[in-house]
Structure 1
């Protein structure tokens, strides 16, 4: 869950993580731009920071990784897509296909290889990394998607975690922690971490609607989404938040949204993570509040769905 709201906010990363530096991302009209969850709020936020690439002002360079921030030509729609791969894999916009078809509603079924993780299970764990589990909505969501693709850390990689309950969540929080932002919720850092696991690729973009999200689900790609809402605005959540991330894993036949919500109704149980949210309510707490932000994490050989022909955003 995002900074400033129970059960999560987001803060820093350790010696094995990424090393941030100053970021100067500007929109189409030259105005400085920060993702909404990183904009300054009194006593809560710091700006996001990464190194500029010496030869390309739109290319950012966290240590050991390369990222490109892309701004579309249209000044009316500020949708920065951050695509992150390991250095040497090459950068550039993904190839977009014309003529996106209307997807069939598809539900990703739960099985032991696609686990659900609750951030509430990790409350009090490793507070040096963003105050522990109550703030780990982003790394918990990222770890669920990485595990979905079978690319989670091994037992030897997580041997240091104590207590060893869903140890991959603690492992992810450690590796996405941004010392400058002082949080574990830096969007590009989460997708950058995912790109270090097996042959995964990750990027951040904005979707316009759940119809676009359905295209990813139909392609077998779950999405991490950024939402915010007051208590009662999202029926069944059981909490309110200034900023939170969860995983969209499917849709019901009627179009409601099947999610893995790491807040788990504020109950410390992985069994409480899977939830179905009303479609209209969910779209209203996602698109207007974060601009439709998603993490897209997938194996290199998993094709993206065809992008919208009129104005591609992935």
Structure 2
């Protein structure tokens, strides 16, 4: 009898799916335990997540930056410009700042939302980044020009919008764009409960349980607030004022990290230029 060699043979011994259901559910149980531990552990409202920032990480763009928080948030940002505006009727008084925000398909845990809802959320985040960077960039120095910033959220571990604002400002500064100061973003959320405190730089689990959210962008050298974005039930006005003061303090504490990252990027760029000059001089001497 002829056999069908195109068909894959199954295992000789089979087991019911219930045997593997327990093993498959272990990670979810561990995640639930981690969330319960995070919820029950004492949390210092003023504690900042350790931040890693590096400028000049991409060679294909004129400016770039990478920002990572200890909670797991990772943002990669690129900047281009100034370039001539494509619109013929662009205003001559000042340039245009275009911001783009994209969320990687693997950025968050669980199933993805509807494409339309995700696109709307990305447009809203891009508008928020544009609002935070607008007061920092000297657009009047670039008439009839366009500056473009693109931020990609690689992993969402909480305070993603604040990290995107910081990464976008670093990328613009790395591109040599004239700015009044580097905008620093800091996120907050209010824990549930009648007397729930405001938490500085919350994680993803804390943001999901929160009843209110706040993102603050600050120009530390000028001590000027560039954007305040809030939503939810934050309690009385005094509670919002306390959250704003807490966010401004967090921005001031993060500023030295960003300044050091720009200095290191400048030193790396100068060292690379010096090596290229030495190599060109050596080639010229060899040819002569």
Q: TM-score, normalised by structure 2?
A: 0.31
Higher share of residues assigned helix: 2
* Structure with higher RCO (Cα < 8 A, 6+ apart): 1
Tell which structure's C-alpha radius of gyration is larger: 2
Higher normalized strand content (fraction of residues): 2
TM-score by length of 1: 0.29
